[in-house]
Chain A
Amino acid sequence: MPTEIRDPTFFAMTALADAPRHGYGIIQEVLRLSGGQVRLKAGSLYATLDRLAGEGLVSVVGEEVVDGRNRRYYKLTERGCTVLVAESHRRRSMSTEALRRLRLSGRLA
């Protein structure tokens, strides 16, 4: 199990939650998901994919060559889905707690 899932990894996994995507597709989707905040660089994208594949959280589903460019598509594995669900719950409970306290202190409208 990964010890910690940082935002870029979380977004990359989320980008693969609904459909398989290739490298650049993941970069674009992460940029969109994060409201323009997270722009994965090519080097770190592949480092992330290597790590996720090593942990069995993503896998390659197919390859195609478009305009002479080799595109490899990645998907979230069953195990990847389980981890993403758990991480999403963890993040939600963190923010729920923050909001609850703010509400209690009367500082949240």
Chain B
Amino acid sequence: MSHHEQLYRRLLIAYPKAYRRQRGDEIVATILDQEDARGGGVRAVELISVISQGVRLRVVSARPASTALVTAVLAVLIALTVQLVSTPTYAATGAVRILPGATQSKLSHDLESSAVLSQASRSLHGIHPECSVSSASSRGLDLTCHSSGGASATAMVHAVLAAFLREERARHTYELVLRVVVLTNSSGELARQIDVKRTELTSEGRQSPKSYINRLVLHRLESSMALVKARTEALTRQMFGASAPVAFVGVSPVHTFSLIEVSDLLMAALIGLAPIIHESP
């Protein structure tokens, strides 16, 4: 089974088990056919459509347990949406948590964590000199990479994951338990639009008809911002616990990006989510 096929099969976690058994194979076959037709890679909207259709079916079947699932799958979608708008000109933050393997002692974990960290820093620095990696060790190793502009969050997480996988192969002591959130900071598009509207409002007379419309638009933008912020924070808490740093970006519609860019991220996110979205009885 190819790497991509495995990824697509993972996406099917979004669907109810019975449905997956009945239709899973042909859905995967259809996505692979599309990939072949494009000469590799599918449009992200295809994958999002597959995930959201699964979520819709779960909502229709509406078991109490599916609420957690819907939240979890939406979290992936939000992470993807954040990916869509994360461009190199924005400052970006990516975070990865690596947990020690079940058989690994705390001591060896601490020692090897520092090896992973230095490897990750070197590897990231080689590609994106403006990036920094910092770490915190709690239950696992939390690596946070930050770029003030230049590297996208995806690129940073890729570099860190690659470094981790290299270390892991060399030592065979980690279990691949990754939690990945990629977020970019508030210099995003939404924040920019809000600034523009605020400036317009201060330069206009309060009573002009245009100012009325501008106030409405500003209100809507601020509500969207609050929503994105709340969801992003919830997602981060869910994956990293209460102490995680939170950053976020505005949401705007972007239609295509390559699978290659997100496959590792999505896979890692789904690995992280798998325990949560495991079947309800």
| Cα(A36)–Cα(B98), bound, Å | 45
1/0 per residue, CB under 8 A from B, across A44-70: the answer is 111100000000000000000000011
Q: Which residue of the partner chain, among A28, A42, A44, contacts B31 with CB atoms under 8 Å?
A: A42
Bound-state Cα–Cα, A98 to B50, Å: 38
Chain B residues lying within 8 Å of A46, measured Cβ to Cβ, are 23, 26-27, 30, 53
A72 contacts across to B, CB distance below 8 A = 26
CA distance A63 to B179 in the complex (A): 38
Nearest opposing residue in chain A for B23, CB measure: A46
- By DSSP majority rule, is chain B's interface helix, strand, loop, or mixed? helix
Contacting residues of chain A (65-86) with chain B, CB-CB under 8 angstroms: 69-72
Q: Point out the residues of chain A lying under 8 angstroms from B49, CB to CB.
A: 41-44
Within the complex, the shortest CB–CB distance from A61 to chain B, in Å, comes to: 13
Total residues of chain B contacting the partner, CB 8 A: 22
In the complex, which residue of chain B has the Cβ closest to the Cβ of A70? Answer: B25
Cβ of B7 < 8 Å from any Cβ of A? no
Q: Assess whether B32 is in contact with A42, with CB atoms less than 8 Å apart.
A: no
The verdict on B52 contacting chain A, using a C-beta distance below 8 Å, is yes
Bound: A30/B74 CA distance, A: 29
User: How far is A81 from B131 in the complex, measured between Cα atoms in Å?
Assistant: 61
- What's the least CB distance linking A15 to chain B, in Å? 14
Q: How far is it, in angstroms, between the C-alpha of A47 and the C-alpha of B45 when the chains are bound?
A: 15
Q: How far is the CA of A69 from the CA of B28 in the complex (A)?
A: 8
Chain B min CB distance to A91 (Å): 26
CB contact between B26 and one of A22, A43, A47 (< 8 Å): that residue: A22
Using a CB–CB cutoff of 8 Å, the interface residues on chain A facing chain B are 22-24, 27-28, 41-47, 69-72
Q: List 27 A-B residue pairs with CB atoms under 8 Å apart, sorted by A's residue number.
A: A22-B26, A23-B26, A23-B27, A23-B33, A24-B29, A24-B30, A27-B30, A27-B34, A41-B46, A41-B50, A42-B30, A42-B34, A42-B49, A43-B46, A43-B48, A43-B49, A43-B52, A43-B54, A44-B53, A45-B30, A46-B53, A47-B53, A47-B56, A69-B33, A70-B25, A70-B28, A72-B26
